[in-house]
Amino acid sequence: MKFLLLTIGSIVSLSLSASADPANIKEWVELDEGKSAHELRGSGKTYLRKVEYALPEPATTLKRLNAINPHISTLLPGLGALMESAKVSPYYAQLYAQKIKQLRSGIFPTTHNFYDCETVLELESPQTHRKVLLVQADMDVVTDGTDPTRKPALTDYDSARVSNSFLPFTKYGWPKNSSTPANPFINYYPAALKELQEVRADLAKRAEEDKGMIWRELLETCDAQIRYVKGRGNGTNFQKWTRERRYVLATEDPFIVLPNGWFNTGGDWKPRPGDIAAVVYRNKIYPAILGDSGPETITGEASLRLARKLNPEASGRQRAVDGLGVTYLLFPNCRIESGNLDMDHWRNRVLELLDEIGGVSSADSVHKWE
């Protein structure tokens, strides 16, 4: 375990909320600088001068992986041989560097969210030279993606839009054809903007008549939503992506999500949208693909379809797995052809690739998607 010291200099606003577990901080130190509030405020520094935080050591042994995912060595009998030459991926350091950057910006995540990744390992079979990127993490839920061929109506996405972070597109997509219906979100955001502006006019009138906080704060909330809708639905990329392409559906398709920055580096280990993946949890292996990119500070995300196999209670507001017992195996340069949603093919491909790294104890342990 490494302990690092973060010295806060020019940060003026720092939000240390309950999410940062302040009650668990062992020591609060008062600095006596002998200056007035006027002088201290004028110094341009925050009242917090240093923050100590603990960085985790990545797991590098099969023993540590077995401790949090006890079935993994049984399901994958060849994993032990792979672990003998395992290397910690640069993605692990990159992930925690982004988390530290987030701290410096004044955002303190929960302890749970800060420690969301046990390890990221580069594995390679000495016999077949098949490469595998192993990520050991928890599992949060994403609900993104639209495909008007399969779900043409706005109401088809009601369960997905429960998540406040829902987006109509994903990293893995493919071109529409002439028979594909229009994406329902093309008109949704302009229509919502028009209604919001009408609501705003009424709220502005009420706020002018009543000088209290009720209508004034409702007006501020409405303005915030107008900015959100303008940014979300009127952007050039949004219009282009929703008009021209189809995407995997988090409610229907099993896929995993990796941090966006990982898609830009890594050489032979660089993730690509559509790469085959296998998710190992308890006594099952779930075939999937790499379907999307996510925030730089988060690992362990999967589509709602996949998440609900691990935990039926998972939703856009409830993670699937709290602990770090989910193993994500990504096979670089093993991309499924765009638009191929044949999950029997996905499963067969997972079996082939797992066979190249030592096989599985039983093909029955590899889930068959209905």
What distance in Å separates the CA atoms of residue 196 and residue 207, rounded to the nearest whole number? 16
Regarding whether 321 and 282 lie in a shared domain, the answer is: yes
State whether 40 and 64 are in the same domain. no
pLDDT for the residue numbered 1: 57
Q: Which of 229, 245, 261 is the last residue of a domain?
A: 245
Residue 160 lies in a domain: no
For the entire predicted model, the pTM comes to 0.91
Domain presence at residue 265: yes
**Average pLDDT for residues 289-306, to the nearest whole number?**
97
Whether 42 and 64 map to the same domain: the answer is: no
Q: Is residue 330 part of a domain?
A: yes
User: What is 113-149 written as a DSSP string?
Assistant: HHT-EEEEEEEE-TTT--EEEEEEEEEEEE-----TT
Domain that holds residue 70: 59-145+248-365
Looking at the fold, whether 123 and 240 belong to one and the same domain comes out as no
305 assigned to some structural domain: yes
Residue with the two structure tokens 């959100």:
228
What is the tens place of the pLDDT at every residue in 207-220? 999 999 999 999 99
> Are 263 and 354 part of one and the same domain?
yes
pLDDT > 90: what percent of the chain? 77
List pLDDT tens digits, range 259-268: 999 999 878 9
Asked if the model's pLDDT at residue 128 lies above 70, the reply is yes
How far, in Å, CA of 77 to CA of 361, rounded?
Answer: 7
- The alpha carbon of residue 199 and the mean position of all alpha carbons in its chain are separated, in whole angstroms, by 34
Determine the Cα–Cα distance for residues 360 and 154; give it in Å rounded to an integer: 41
Q: Is residue 164 part of a domain?
A: no
One domain for residues 200 and 139: no
| Same domain as 257, residue 137 | yes
Same domain, 193 and 340: no
**Residue 109 scores a pLDDT above 80:** yes
**Residue 7: pLDDT over 90:** no
Q: Give residue 5's pLDDT.
A: 60
Q: What pLDDT score was predicted for residue 369?
A: 97
Q: Total structural domains in the chain?
A: 3
Has residue 167 been placed in a domain?
no
Band of pLDDT at residue 13, cut at 50, 70 and 90 = very low
Instruction: Identify which of 118, 165, 123, 169 has the alpha carbon closest to the alpha carbon of residue 142.
Output: 165
* Mean pLDDT of all residues in 318-338: 96
Quote the pLDDT of residue 2: 64
Return the percentage of the chain with pLDDT > 70, whole number.
94
pLDDT at 11 over 60: no
- φ/ψ (deg, to 5) at 36: -80, 165
Specify whether 211 is located in the same domain as 255. Answer: no
Within a domain: 181: yes
Q: Are residues 189 and 210 in the same domain?
A: yes
User: If we measure between CA atoms, which residue out of 346, 340, 338, 332 comes closest to residue 272?
Assistant: 332
Instruction: Tell me: pLDDT of 287 over 60.
Output: yes
The span from the CA of 99 to the CA of 89, in Å, is: 16
Same domain? 297 vs 350: yes
Flag whether 228 is in a domain: yes
Which whole number is the average pLDDT over 2-24? 56
Contacts of residue 10, Cβ cutoff 8 Å, sequence gap at least 6: 44, 45
